[in-house]
């Protein structure tokens, strides 16, 4: 079967292929919807993890309130897919991104944006004016990551005020994401570090309320801290995304202090293309098929027992093992070490249920 034909069997996919177990995906979605509902917070999952309209729609149908987007291209794709409740979580200040946001808003998209500078507020005001529709805006707060977001309380209040003073903008609240705490181990340490930042966020929210700038939305959190964050009484919504796939790095750190809530659903399938040495085969998936920022892929289905993967250049990897050599052409699936940038390396998900390939979902908004 060629690339143009529809492959029906999981182990016959043209490789390398991004493989998504839709049953595991649905269990993960159901678990997170139930968890956030039980904690009394909304779920606005981050599309930077999945970059897929079909996944976002599935989440929305299950009860999510919309989709977070990291880039204007992701927001464009989600809007084309009919998603409501789009939140742009990166600060936009370039002419290109501001103009594209304005066009999206003019087209009727339900989209809000975050900001951490006075210039950003003014540019969003211009975008809204050009669009002829108001734009919802959240102040982005740096809660210890050292990345985007206002650092000083005075700046947060001043920006919220500035947003409220521009008629074309609608002040919606704040974003506060402690991305640096998502995988802190042990879990008790994660919790105590979250509580330090939560205390600061609590005081910021109090100052905003006193200034008549009570936030309607407090957006943040991720897969690693959602079980803590959702019970703080601070957040109105959770932005988590990685719970959909549970890559091997999240697989090795609990996402709660109780039972495991999520399971792996995302794999990269590769084929054995060389078997010239005992105890080693070469597969056709290397550093253009797997993200490399967080360790090595983990061999799963089809791999010899005890097999370990090594990157061997752009298009190849080595699998070292004891025992019998898998045949040339055999399919081996790998759990990725970091789902977001791995998804970004592929143009589509091959959606499987058990042994069957049931659909192909495009990955959207790649650079």
Residues at the interface with a second copy (CB under 8 A): 1-3, 12, 14-16, 18, 48, 70-71, 90-97, 99-100, 103, 116-117, 119-120, 142, 145-151, 155, 179, 271-277, 280, 282, 284, 287-289, 291-293, 311-316, 318, 328-329, 340-341, 344-347, 366-367
Q: Shortest gap between Cβ of 258 and a second copy (angstroms)? A: 28
**How far is 230 from 255, CA to CA, in rounded Å?**
12
Q: Shortest gap between Cβ of 339 and a second copy (angstroms)? A: 10
**How far is 101 from 105, CA to CA, in rounded Å?**
6
Contact 86, 66 (CB under 8 A): yes
Q: What share of the chain is helix, strand, coil (3-state, %, to 5)?
A: 35, 25, 40
**How many beta carbons lie within 10 A of that of residue 5, not counting itself?**
8
For a second copy, give the closer residue by CB, 260 or 328. Answer: 328
348: helix, strand or coil: strand
Q: Which helix (H) or strand (E) holds 136?
A: strand 135-141
Contact 160, 202 (CB under 8 A): no
Say which residues have a Cβ less than 8 Å from residue 38's Cβ, sequence separation at least 6. none
Say which residues have a Cβ less than 8 Å from residue 37's Cβ, sequence separation at least 6. 63
Contact 342, 276 (CB under 8 A): no
Q: Shortest gap between Cβ of 96 and a second copy (angstroms)? A: 4
Q: Shortest gap between Cβ of 50 and a second copy (angstroms)? A: 12
For a second copy, give the closer residue by CB, 261 or 343. Answer: 343
Over the Cα atoms of the chain, what is R_g?
A: 22
Q: Which helix (H) or strand (E) holds 197?
A: helix 187-210
For a second copy, give the closer residue by CB, 39 or 144. Answer: 144
For a second copy, give the closer residue by CB, 253 or 275. Answer: 275
Q: Shortest gap between Cβ of 311 and a second copy (angstroms)? A: 7
For a second copy, give the closer residue by CB, 92 or 298. Answer: 92
Q: Shortest gap between Cβ of 312 and a second copy (angstroms)? A: 5
| Pairing verdict, β 308-311 and 331-335 | unpaired
For a second copy, give the closer residue by CB, 238 or 261. Answer: 238
For a second copy, give the closer residue by CB, 112 or 261. Answer: 112
**How far is 53 from 83, CA to CA, in rounded Å?**
8
Task: Look up residue 49 and give its two tokens.
Answer: 């993890």
Place of tokens 């190849």: 316
Q: Shortest gap between Cβ of 259 and a second copy (angstroms)? A: 29
For a second copy, give the closer residue by CB, 108 or 329. Answer: 329
Contact 20, 265 (CB under 8 A): yes
Q: Shortest gap between Cβ of 5 and a second copy (angstroms)? A: 9
Q: Which helix (H) or strand (E) holds 121?
A: helix 118-131
For a second copy, give the closer residue by CB, 35 or 226. Answer: 226
Q: Shortest gap between Cβ of 37 and a second copy (angstroms)? A: 28
């Amino acid at each position: 079967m060629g690339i143009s034909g529809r492959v029906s069997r999981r182990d016959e996919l043209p490789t390398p292929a991004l493989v998504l177990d839709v049953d595991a995906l649905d269990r993960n979605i159901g678990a997170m919807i139930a968890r956030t509902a039980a904690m009394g917070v909304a779920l606005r999952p981050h599309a930077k993890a999945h970059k897929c309209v079909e996944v976002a729609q599935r989440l929305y149908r299950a009860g999510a309130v919309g989709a977070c987007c990291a880039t204007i291209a992701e927001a464009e794709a989600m809007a084309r897919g009919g998603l409501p409740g789009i939140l742009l979580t990166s600060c936009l200040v370039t002419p290109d991104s501001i103009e594209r946001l304005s066009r999206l808003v003019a087209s009727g998209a339900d989209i809000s944006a975050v900001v951490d500078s006075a210039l950003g507020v003014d540019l969003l005001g211009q975008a809204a004016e050009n669009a002829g529709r108001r734009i919802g805006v959240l102040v982005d707060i740096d809660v210890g990551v050292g990345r985007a977001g206002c650092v000083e309380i005075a700046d947060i209040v001043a920006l919220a005020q500035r947003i409220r003073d521009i008629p074309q903008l609608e002040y919606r609240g704040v974003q506060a994401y402690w991305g640096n705490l998502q995988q802190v181990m042990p879990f008790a340490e994660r919790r105590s570090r979250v509580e330090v930042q939560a205390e600061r966020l609590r005081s910021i929210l109090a100052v905003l309320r006193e200034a008549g700038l009570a936030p309607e939305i407090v957006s943040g959190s991720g897969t690693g801290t959602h079980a803590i964050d959702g019970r703080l009484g601070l957040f109105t919504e959770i932005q988590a995304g990685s719970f959909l796939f549970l890559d091997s790095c999240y697989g090795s750190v609990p996402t709660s202090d109780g039972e495991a809530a999520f399971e792996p659903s995302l794999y990269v399938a590769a084929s054995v293309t060389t078997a010239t040495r005992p105890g080693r085969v070469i597969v056709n998936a290397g550093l253009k098929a797997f993200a490399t920022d967080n360790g090595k892929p983990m061999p799963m289905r089809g791999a010899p027992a005890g097999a370990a993967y090594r990157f061997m250049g752009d298009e190849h990897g080595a699998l070292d093992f004891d025992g019998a050599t898998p045949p040339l052409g055999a399919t081996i699936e790998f759990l990725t070490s970091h789902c977001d940038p791995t998804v970004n390396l592929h143009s589509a998900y091959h959606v499987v249920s058990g042994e069957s390939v049931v659909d192909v979902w495009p990955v959207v908004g790649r650079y």
